[in-house]
Amino acid sequence: MATPGAIAAYDDTEEKDRAGACQHIVQGTPVSVLDFADAYGKEKTYAKVRIEDGECKGHEAWALAIDIQ
């Protein structure tokens, strides 16, 4: 997502959007965490990441921090 918290507004019911704009990254893709953002009264809810491999290499986006391992 482009900004933390935008996940609540994202509608992924359309299959055709799953390949566009690097919105869906394969599990296990290496990323670097650049920043964190708090949300909903919890610290470090979102992580800003840079994708380090694959066709989206170099792109930066926000992800739920719990999804980053």
Question: pLDDT tens for residues 2-25?
Answer: 667 665 555 555 555 555 678 788
User: Residue 50 — very low, low, confident or very high, per pLDDT cuts 50/70/90?
Assistant: very high
Between 60 and 24, where is the model more confident? Answer: 60
Whole-number Å distance between alpha carbons of 21 and 35: 21
pLDDT at res. 13: 58
Place of tokens 């953002």: 37
Q: pTM of the entire structure?
A: 0.71
